[in-house]
Structure 1
Amino acid sequence: MALYDLYSHPLEIIYRAGLCSKAALFLLLASSLTYIPPLLVAFRSHGFWLKRSSYEEQPTVRYQHEVLFVALLSSNSGEYLAWSTFPNFNQFQGDNLRLPVVWSREEDRNHDGKMDMLHFRLELPMKPTEHVVGVQLILTFNYQLTKMSKFVMQSMVFLQSSSPVPGSQLSVNGDLKLQQRQPLRYRGLDDRYNVSVINGTSIFASDYRFKKIAAAYHERNVTTILADPNPVWLVGRAAEAPFIVNAIIRYPVEVISYIPGFWEMIKFAWIQYISILLVFLWIFEKIKMFVFQNQMVTTVPVASITPVEYYKEHLS
């Protein structure tokens, strides 16, 4: 009659020796070489500790309705027209002050409660003899991140464009992009830059200069810029027509860089350590099996018994 394998189980052999024996010393050395080298390999291969991480978030952006505007005229005398939403700045302008018509609208296209873009339009009344060859414009925003890093700041967009040919209209269409020189904190409220970009209460004309405002703003480690504005300068203005600035500023999803917390670093490091440790466990398990089976260190082999055999032996 043919025979078939119906059931099998491995036989476990226990190797016994004293704590001060060569076998115990070998096992201690093998365990050390199993668990410590993977840690050293993972650490020396760089990237063991996660020092910086990133995630995606659409910021909560709101236009602050603060405007600083200067139009340069085609004249060798440096004539210009200016206007802002800051009364102190307007008082400094004298005859250069010109009140424009300003219209703005924010739009939430996907109806998720966050604004997606700003439509801005400025119409500057012009005399027939006045011709605009350059524009400088600052718009301010409230910028917030809430998903991982709790971050709040007052930011701005600085737009500057010029042409040797007098224009009738300037159109721009770009993204309000976040720029980081350093990662954000992963917890707590970061409001170090939640201060006005323009000091609207200042009584000094120098505080409203574009160069000074831009220089102070770019000293920050976190700023916003108008990316890819694609300015279009149109010519051919009618004698009584205003000069127009049209701007579409989008608020895109950003990749935010931040410093991860302790548990996130441990989770990342643990994965790297375990992946290397598994290889060492397999290798040294084979080494220990070879050493003990071939009695390269003196031990007393004892076959282990099942619980049923144990009880039979002690109850008989």
Structure 2
Amino acid sequence: MKQDVVYAYPEVKFKGHYLLVVTFDDDTINPIICGSFSNYKRYLKELDTCHTIQIREIDENDDGKPYKLETTFKSNIAKNSVISSVNLMLPVKFKFGNPCPSVIENTILYQNLYSKRNSDIKVYADMQLYQHDLVKCPKYGMTHYNYSIIHEGMSNEEYKLEKILEKYSDTKNIFKTTLVNTITSYIPTKDDVFTISLTVNYPEQKIHHKPRFWHIIKTAWIQFLALYILTAWITNKIKSYIFNNNLVLLYKQKNK
């Protein structure tokens, strides 16, 4: 199958929703579930103990494209409690321009399984978009893909953490957002506040796409034209060299 590769900095937008699930080694301690989705607010409001939530998109170049996302969540927990897992989900939207305009909805997932007492956790990572299929270029407008593992309107069963993680691992998902080059620091604290800070950079992405027929023709024509110009230039150089050095006359004299 014909495919092209393009490197581009996507326009990434945080969609305004989040889900943080923190579990403990002690089964008698309720998990922390801080979520902006209506399902969690309706049925699990008593588990939402986050008293501080800060989410900020950073655009230092003032070009309208955020280049990183900074998040901080703080929650009260029992002293000396041992955290067994941290799961943080942040739905985002990617927008790519030419040569293949497309919008891809996906979810940033951070997961850490460990056994530590209360800590101030700081995580720094680069976001990377993986593909299991080609982006198909539209004839008009933009191609829209929605592969977010969590969004409004799902059933109660789908909002369970194990179901969300199962959806993330599904190989049928054409697009999957992963965190790479991850650096994590743990600072033990003696107070009863748990803190998780996640900073995600948006680096250049490698996109595989299926070009349209006319795009292939245009690319081939440009390559042909470039080859024609190069060939004509080389031919003219050879002709000039032959006539400037009387090589044709010299050849005739040798054969008389």
Contact 1:132 1:243 in 2 (8 A): no
- Whether 1:138 and 2:89 are equivalent positions in the alignment is yes
Contact 1:185 1:259 in 2 (8 A): yes
Structure 1 residue 129: deviation in Å?
5.1
List per-residue Cα deviations over 1:225-275 (Å, max 9, x = no partner).
2222223333x22233x1111111111111211112324434666758x89
Using structure 1 for the length normalisation, give the TM-score.
0.62
Structure 1 residue 170: deviation in Å?
1.8
- Which of 109, 123, 127 pairs up with 1:172? 123
Q: 1:264 to 1:142 in 2, by over 3 A?
A: closer
Contact 2:80 2:117 in 1 (8 A): no
> For 1:73 and 1:170, how far apart are their aligned partners in 2?
15
Contact 1:73 1:81 in 2 (8 A): no
Q: % of aligned pairs identical?
A: 20
Using structure 2 for the length normalisation, give the TM-score.
0.76
> For 1:197 and 1:65, how far apart are their aligned partners in 2?
15
2:208 corresponds to: 257
- Higher mean displacement: 182-191 or 88-97: 88-97
- Whether 1:58 and 2:47 are equivalent positions in the alignment is no
Contact 2:126 2:203 in 1 (8 A): yes
Letter matched to residue 74 of structure 2: E
> For 2:164 and 2:114, how far apart are their aligned partners in 1?
23
List per-residue Cα deviations over 1:165-191 (Å, max 9, x = no partner).
213122211112111111212334211
- Secondary structure of 1:230's aligned partner: strand
Q: Which runs of 5 or more residues in structure 1 are unaligned?
A: 1-49, 279-316
Letter matched to residue 168 of structure 1: S
Letter matched to residue 143 of structure 2: D
Structure 1 residue 132: deviation in Å?
2.5
> For 1:172 and 1:104, how far apart are their aligned partners in 2?
14
Letter matched to residue 211 of structure 2: P
- Whether 1:221 and 2:161 are equivalent positions in the alignment is no
1:198 corresponds to: 150
- Secondary structure of 1:65's aligned partner: coil
- Whether 1:128 and 2:82 are equivalent positions in the alignment is no
Q: Which runs of 5 or more residues in structure 2 are unaligned?
A: 232-256
Q: 1:196 to 1:181 in 2, by over 3 A?
A: closer
> For 1:88 and 1:269, how far apart are their aligned partners in 2?
53
Structure 1 residue 149: deviation in Å?
1.4
Contact 1:171 1:247 in 2 (8 A): yes
- Secondary structure of 1:229's aligned partner: strand
> For 1:215 and 1:73, how far apart are their aligned partners in 2?
21
Q: Which has the higher strand share?
A: 2
Contact 2:84 2:114 in 1 (8 A): yes
Contact 1:68 1:83 in 2 (8 A): yes
| CA RMSD, 1 decimal | 2.8
How many pairs align? 224
List per-residue Cα deviations over 1:86-121 (Å, max 9, x = no partner).
132233336533233100111112222211001111
- Whether 1:162 and 2:87 are equivalent positions in the alignment is no
